[in-house]
Every structure is written in structure tokens, then in C-alpha cells.
Structure 1
Amino acid sequence: MVRIAIPAILLITTACTEAPLEAEQESENAALAERVREANDAGPPIEQVVPETIGYPDMEANDLLGLACAYAPGTSMGVRVIARETDAWMKIDGELVRFAADPGSRELPAKSRTSYNGQKYSLRLDVGGTVAEGEIEATTYEGTMWLYDRWDRVIYTGSGTTNCGA
């Protein structure tokens, strides 16, 4: 009888200690899986982008003249974004980058849009109240632009004068 009782006690003791170990292991596995998911979802470090001025030679060479809104952030008169009905342009690292207009976004003056998408970046624009008096009042606004990376993080923002017209 003693011979049967000892193995039975050992079996019961082993069964009791395995259950918490399995639950503990499952908990650790779930925590580890969550950390891996977070690491995979996080993008690389943010790389700030400073758009360059789009000069008249760039505008002429790429047929960027005509009905559009030109955004010049801060007190600078240098245009950083040209937004048109179907596309917008920005100069990054010496290259003109094209953004396609989102036709579902809100329309701004000069038939420009609030949202544009590119291969590497996306662009959001907004126009506030007019800033000039007199004859050019209807074409000069206070505007803001936001440039986003592919992880939808703001990598550039600028506010200043926006001129809209032909």
C-alpha cells in the first residue's frame, strides 16, 4: 500500500507544479510576442527634411507656372511648395518631388487641395484668412504645410505667406 501511495503522491505533486509553469511560460511568451510586435511596428528614427526654395528656373523647366498656390514659410519669400489642381511640387535634396492630389480632400483656393501623396512622403496644406489689403487681398493668405514620412509622422512643418492665382 505504501508502494502505491508514494508514486501517487509524486504524480500529484508533479502535475501541480507543471500547471503553473505552463501558465507562466505562456504569459512570458505573450509578453515577448507583444514586444516583438511593438518593435516591428515602430518606424526608423525620424529624419527631418528641410525643403529647398523652388526657383524660377525650376518652375520654367517643369512647367509649374499657371494657376496654383505657392507656399513660402516664415518671413521668406522663397517658395517651398507649389500646389495645383492635380499635383503639388516640393524640392527636397536638390530634386523636385511630385505629389498627386487627393481628389477626395477639401478644395483650397486656385483649385488646390488639402492633401497630396507621393512615393516617399505625403503633404498636407491649409490656408487661413487673407493677409493683405486692397487689390491682392483675394490671392494672398496665411498658409501652413506639413510634410509626413511613410509612417505618417510629421517631418517638416512651416507657416507663412501663401499666394494663390495664375
Structure 2
Amino acid sequence: MRGIVAGAAVLVLLAACSSQTPAEKAAEDARAVAQVEAAQRNGQPPVKPIDPQPIMFFDIRDGKLTGTGCNFVADGGGMGAILLAQGERGVMKLDGKLVIFASDKGSTQLPQGAWSRYSSKEYALTLTRIDDGKAVKNGLVDLFSGQVVVTDPFDRVVYKARGNVQCKPM
């Protein structure tokens, strides 16, 4: 007898589900998707944009940052480079401190031993050429339009800028 009652309850529930209108079904699906997305985001902090500062002469001297590679200067950011991309490392200045990025030697090689990808404990960055931008070679110096994109550990963009790249022996 209990089996018959339980079976009848299941049939009533199934009948109730099938009596949903398309709008009710869509709303229920949207709620389910929102719950899954919220569960996936759970534990991720909000995106925290960064504001790289120019790397100055004393930063280069004191940090022993001389060497061949590429410098990136963001459009509208003055003349100071906010990224030094070298063979073994990339360097940015964040919150007044130099942040060292390890080079990804499996990425695209740029002039003067620089690489297109670097990563640190907190960030990953990509330095790319802009295909439709200017490009000039003057002896050992390569100048071209480029873009820097920095992402956080969750692969979310925290900084993006276009600008000028200068690759030379330093």
C-alpha cells in the first residue's frame, strides 16, 4: 500500500512539472543557471584593477635592472616605461614596489631577447605587437606599437593599455 501512495505522489509531482508554462520553465531555468554561476564565483575576490607606475632611473639602478629587452610606455602615460620586458624577467612598479615576473620562454620571442608572456605570484602579463600599428627599425633599436594586458589569478583583466614599445640593448 505504501508503494502505491509513494508512486502516486511521484506522478502528482511529475504532472505539476509538466503543467508549467514556457515562461515559468524559462524563469526556473534562469534561476538554476544563476545558482550555478554564483557557486562558481564563490570564493573569488572582486576584480582589483592595478595602476602601474613609471619605472624610474633609481629603480633601474637600485634594482639592477639593466640589460637588453623591451620597454613599454602606455599612451597618455608620459615618457616613463611601466614595463621592462627582458630575457629572464619582466618588471612593473605597483604601489611603489617593483614586481618581478618570470619570462615564459614558450611564448613568442620579441626583439632583444624579450618575451610576449611573463608571470608573477599574483599576475600574468602579455606584451603583444599591434599589427596595424607603426613599426620602425633603427640599427639595433626596434620601435613598434604594442599592447599590455595584465590578468589576476582568476584570468580576469586588471590592466590593459596600448602604447609604444622600444626594444634595445640597455
TM-score range, shorter chain: 0.7 to 0.9
What is the CA-CA distance between 1:11 and the residue it aligns to?
Answer: 5.7
* Number of the residue aligned with 1:52: 53
Distance in 2 (CA, whole Å) between partners of 1:40 and 1:54 is 40
Report sequence identity in percent.
Answer: 29
Instruction: Give yes or no for the alignment of 1:165 onto 2:164.
Output: no
**Structure 1 partner of 2:122:** 120
Distance in 2 (CA, whole Å) between partners of 1:58 and 1:91 is: 9
The count of aligned residue pairs is 153
Distance in 2 between residues matched to 1:46 and 1:159, nearest whole Å = 21
Q: Does 1:142 align with 2:141?
A: no
- How far apart, in 2, do the equivalents of 1:151 and 1:144 lie? 20
Q: 2:8 matched to which residue of 1?
A: 16
* Contact kept in structure 2, 1:72 and 1:79, CA below 8 Å: yes
- Whether contact under 8 Å (1:131, 1:137) holds in the other structure is no
Superposed CA offset, 1:115-156 (max 9, x none): 1111000010012454458x4694222121111011101110
Q: Which residue of 1 aligns with 2:64?
A: 63
One-letter amino acid of the counterpart of residue 95, structure 1: K
TM-score between both structures, scaled by the size of structure 2: 0.76
TM-score by length of 1: 0.77
SS of aligned partner of 1:157: strand
Return the alpha-carbon distance in structure 2 between the equivalents of residues 126 and 109 of structure 1: 12
- Kindly provide the amino acid, as one letter, of the partner of residue 78 in structure 1: G
Give the aligned CA root-mean-square deviation in angstroms: 3.1
1:84 alignment partner AA: Q
Change (3 A) 1:161 1:136: farther
Partner of 2:7, secondary structure, is helix
Distance in structure 1 (CA, Å) of the matches to 2:135 and 2:140:
7
Q: Which has the higher helix share?
A: 1
**Which has the larger Rg?**
1
